[in-house]
Structure formats: structure tokens, C-alpha cells
Amino acid sequence: MNLDDLVAIDVHTHAEISGSGHGSLSPELLGASADYFKAHGHRQPTITEMAAYYRERKMAAVVFTVDAEHATGHPRISNEEVAESCAEHADVLIPFASVDPWKGRAGVREARRLVEEYGVRGFKFHPSMQGFAPDDRMAYPLYEAIEELGAIALFHTGQTGIGAGVPGGGGIRLKYSNPMLVDDVAVDFPELRIILAHPSFPWQDEALAVATHKPYVHIDLSGWSPKYFPPQLVRYANTLLKDKVLFGSDYPMITPDRWLADFDKLEIRPEVRPKILKDNAARLLGLGGEEKKPRP
């Protein structure tokens, strides 16, 4: 990956379909998500198509699926398939994985194997979909392994379009995605690199508090058009968190084209804009050398 050739690094994209046609969500939850994002009729790209899409735009992208089989009963897309497909397009794609924390010791073994044998850089958690509180000690052996391996833990935070409008929310409990539940994780695993995904509605202030207090907690801006960002998020991105805020789109539900067009209109300082679009992610992912501690 030639960092100098890239204009941006998208730290939040989803592998929604496998090579065999298996989807990452059940039809009911996928339909609810499409309703929420007004994305009916959007085509689910393969990872190879995602690579071509990002290569054309001179961007890199972090790619992952979500393993929520324990709570949803729906089998995940294989982490190995995601990693191998990203390796075929290593000029633009960066593999993350997802391991359901309910898998216990088997999940810990899988996480180690994925990093050591497949070059996975991080792990996606979706507490609401996976049905667990991030501060549940059940998940701690998995965090311990991720910290030891030098990988990143990315947590969905805030409301989710998955299950929105379905009776009972499709069984998805929003309370698990309060970013304050990740504060214990940051305390108990002080060297673990953490990303709080999305503007964390209705807990935006909680996310800002955790990210300003804990030096290795970052925030990605995926899942929302920038024109809807809360004003305090924009203010912190320009100042206290200028080295810890990351561009993310939530592709394919939100395209980077749409996100960047709206980001261009946002009042972000000129010297901060390249940090958000590329530099902060490059440092965190170790793409330009060893990751360094950002200033709190």
C-alpha cells in the first residue's frame, strides 16, 4: 500500500456478501437496515468490487463483517474469506475480522490465528447485534488477546439501523451500544487501541468524554452524513480530538462519494481535514510506520 498515493482511508466498510452469495444479515434485518438508510435497491458489492471502487477513488478501506450468530442465529461471512480477499487487493483493502465474544476460548483462539496467519489488523464488535455489554467480563479474554496482538477493537456505538422498525427491534437492544460501556474496557486494557464507531446518538457527549479522557480511544465518523453531525462533535474534531477522529463511511449503506461531498461543506479547519481523512488512520493502523500515541 502506497500511502502517498492515497487521498483518504475509510476505516468503516462492510463485507455484506460472500463469494457464495451468503449475506451478512438475515433478510428481515437487511430490509430494516435498507429502510433506515433509504438504500433499497442498492447492490451488495463483492470484496473484489469494493477494491475496484476504492482503487478508482485512490482510497483505502478497512473491511469487516459482523459475527452475531449467538444472538441472531444467522451465520457470519467467513473471516478467512474477508482476509484472503483483502490480501488479493492489499494496495487498497485492510482486513478486520469479527469474532462473537460468546464463543469464549474458541473465539480467543480464532482471533490469534486470524492475526498471526491472516494479517488481520483489528476486530469489529456490534454489542447490540451480538447481545452483550462491552464491559461484560465474559468478553475480557478476547480483549486481552487483541491487546496482546497489537490489534484494534472497533465498537459500534449509538443507535443502529439494523432492526429499526421491526417489532421489538428484531431483538436488538440499543443499551449495549452506549459508548460509556467501553470506558471500563479502556481502563482495564490500557494499551488496547479502540475505535468508537459513528456519531453515538443519543450518547454523543459520552463518546466525546471517553475519547478525550482515554489516550487510545478514537472516534470514526461513519454511518451519518456529515451535514447531520452534532455541533459538539464538529467542535471536538477541530480541537481536542483532531488527532483521534477518523473518516469512515459505512459503505455500502453510505458511499464515500456522498460522505465526502457533505464533509467538504463542513466547517473543519484546513489543517485538520487531512488528519481526519487519512493521517490519523494511517498512524493508528501503522501504515506509515509504528503507531504513536496521539496527544490527549
- 157-204 pLDDT, tens per residue? 999 988 888 889 888 999 999 999 999 999 999 999 999 999 999 999
Residues 6+ apart with CB under 8 A from 229: 199, 221, 266
As a whole number of angstroms, the distance between CA 265 and CA 258 comes to 12
Contact 246, 11 (CB under 8 A): yes
Q: Which residues contact 114 (CB under 8 A, 6 or more apart)?
A: 79, 80, 83, 97, 99, 120
* 3 state SS of 194: strand
Question: Given this model, what pLDDT does residue 294 score?
Answer: 44
What is the distance between the terminal CA atoms of the chain, rounded to a whole angstrom? 29
pLDDT above 90 covers what percent of the chain? 79
Which of the 8 DSSP states describes residue 179? G
Backbone dihedral angles phi then psi of residue 156, each to the nearest 5 degrees? -60, 135
CA atoms of 139 and 108, how far apart (whole Å): 9
pLDDT at 36 over 70: no
- 165: its cell numbers: 422498525
Q: Give which of 81, 66, 150, 80 is closest to 117, Cα–Cα.
A: 80
245 has a pLDDT exceeding 60: yes
pLDDT digits (tens, 9 = 90+) for 257-294: 999 999 999 999 999 999 999 999 999 999 975 554 44
**DSSP secondary structure letter of residue 275:** I
Strand-pair partners of 23: 17
Query: Measured between alpha carbons, how far is 248 from 96 in angstroms, rounded to an integer?
Result: 14
Amino acid at 150: G
C-alpha closest to that of 251 among 8, 80, 14, 72? 14
* Angle at which helices 79-88 and 104-118 cross, to 10°: 10
Confidence band (pLDDT; 50, 70, 90) for 38?
A: low
What are the tens digits of pLDDT across the range 79-121?
999 999 999 999 999 999 999 999 999 999 999 999 999 999 9
Radius of gyration of the chain (CA): 17
Cell 483505502 -> residue = 60
The reply to whether omega before 230 is within 30° of 0 (cis) is no
Write out the three cell numbers for 134. 462491552
Helices 204-213 and 231-238 cross at an angle (nearest 10°) of: 20
CATH superfamily of 3-285: Metal-dependent hydrolases (3.20.20.140)
DSSP state string for 24-45: SS-HHHHHHHHHHHT-TT----
User: In angstroms, rounded to a whole number, what is the distance separating the alpha carbons of residues 194 and 22?
Assistant: 29
CA atoms of 139 and 241, how far apart (whole Å): 28
What percent of the residues of the chain are helix, what percent strand, and what percent coil, each to the nearest 5?
Answer: 45, 15, 40
Task: Report how far residue 40's alpha carbon sits from residue 27's, in angstroms, rounded to the nearest whole number.
Answer: 12
User: Could you tell me if 282 and 296 are in contact, meaning their C-beta atoms sit under 8 angstroms apart?
Assistant: no
Q: Is the Cβ–Cβ distance between 155 and 219 less than 8 Å?
A: no
